[in-house]
């Protein structure tokens, strides 16, 4: 058996290479793969948009409802160069972002505080749990009309919608994160001399942080959804308002252009969140390739 093995192995051995050569080859392979993925992505995009454009032009789909990619691009270019019907594009984006950011920050802070407070208090958790479940069962977005009636067409109503969208997600995760804090670690802190507040501050909150961050990530998207839905229902400015106006005048390129602007804004926000997260949660094991570089 062993003889057979060594016989099959010896001829298959490649000419001896140094570690450097192997590493260089591996790196080249990685670069090649990355380029291939990128090429396929671009090809897919061109295919989709091109197909859409062609289908619209030859009448396979009705451009009146579905617009054409070229029209959408032209609309965005016009918005950037000449402004929208409501004012400069940047101002509209800023209005939506302001609503989303204020709603996100207030909702996140409230959610974290409530989640930690309730997570650390078993009795309060038992009392509130049923109501939290009920509140969670309400599709929060249906509250938007009420907020608009109550707080008017301006910033406060949109902030309120974004707030409820964010609050429950962050709250649920902060609560769960606190409950999942490692028991041995808490016992260790207590025996080392930690007071209840010390345990919360230096064990429970840090260990809940990765749960909280996971929720912050998705909930910023929710904050934008909340702000835009609020604007759709009634407002004077914002991307949601642009979309609402376009819809009102059967201007489908305008609706799609508003969506594209939203996508770009949401993705930029997502990248920013990831960057902040990496800065704060530094103690987590890095990916292998990172660990090797330091």
Q: Which CB sits closer to another protein, 28 or 187?
A: 187
Q: Which CB sits closer to another protein, 73 or 194?
A: 194
Q: Which CB sits closer to another protein, 73 or 125?
A: 125
Q: Which CB sits closer to another protein, 53 or 180?
A: 180
Q: Which CB sits closer to another protein, 179 or 247?
A: 179
* Minimum gap (Å) between residue 181 Cβ and another protein: 11
What Cα–Cα distance (Å) separates residue 199 from each residue in 67, 184, 191, 203? 58, 12, 11, 5
* Minimum gap (Å) between residue 128 Cβ and another protein: 22
Q: Which CB sits closer to another protein, 114 or 203?
A: 203
* Minimum gap (Å) between residue 282 Cβ and another protein: 8
* Minimum gap (Å) between residue 219 Cβ and another protein: 22
* Minimum gap (Å) between residue 290 Cβ and another protein: 12
Interface contacts to another protein, rule CB under 8 A: 182, 184-185, 187-195, 198, 202-203, 206-207, 209, 281-285, 291
* Minimum gap (Å) between residue 287 Cβ and another protein: 12
């Amino acid at each position: 058996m062993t003889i057979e093995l060594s016989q099959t192995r010896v001829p298959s051995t490649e000419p001896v290479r140094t570690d450097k050569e192997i590493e260089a080859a591996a790196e080249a392979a990685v670069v090649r793969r990355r380029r291939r993925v990128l090429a396929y992505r671009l090809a897919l995009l061109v295919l989709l948009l091109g197909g859409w454009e062609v289908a619209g032009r030859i009448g396979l789909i009705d451009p009146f409802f579905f617009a054409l990619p070229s029209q959408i691009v032209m609309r965005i270019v016009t918005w950037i160069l000449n402004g929208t019907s409501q004012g400069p594009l940047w101002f509209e984006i800023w209005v939506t972002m302001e609503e989303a950011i204020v709603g996100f920050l207030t909702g996140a802070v409230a959610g974290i505080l409530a989640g930690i407070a309730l997570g650390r208090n078993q009795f309060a958790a038992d009392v509130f749990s049923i109501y939290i479940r009920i509140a969670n069962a309400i599709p929060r977005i249906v509250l938007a009309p009420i907020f608009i009636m109550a707080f008017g067409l301006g910033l406060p109503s949109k902030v309120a919608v974004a707030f409820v969208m964010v609050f429950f997600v962050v709250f649920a995760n902060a609560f769960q994160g606190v409950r999942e804090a490692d028991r041995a670690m808490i016992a260790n802190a207590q025996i080392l001399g930690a007071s209840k507040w010390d345990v919360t501050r230096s064990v429970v909150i840090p260990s809940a942080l990765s749960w909280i961050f996971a929720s912050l990530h998705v909930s910023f998207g929710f904050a934008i959804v909340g702000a835009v839905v609020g604007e759709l229902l009634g407002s004077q400015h914002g991307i949601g308002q642009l979309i609402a106006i376009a819809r009102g005048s059967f201007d489908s390129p305008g609706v799609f252009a508003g969506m594209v602007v939203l996508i770009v804004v949401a993705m930029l926000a997502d990248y920013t969140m990831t960057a902040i997260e990496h800065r704060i949660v530094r103690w987590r094991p890095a990916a292998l390739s990172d660990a090797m570089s330091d």
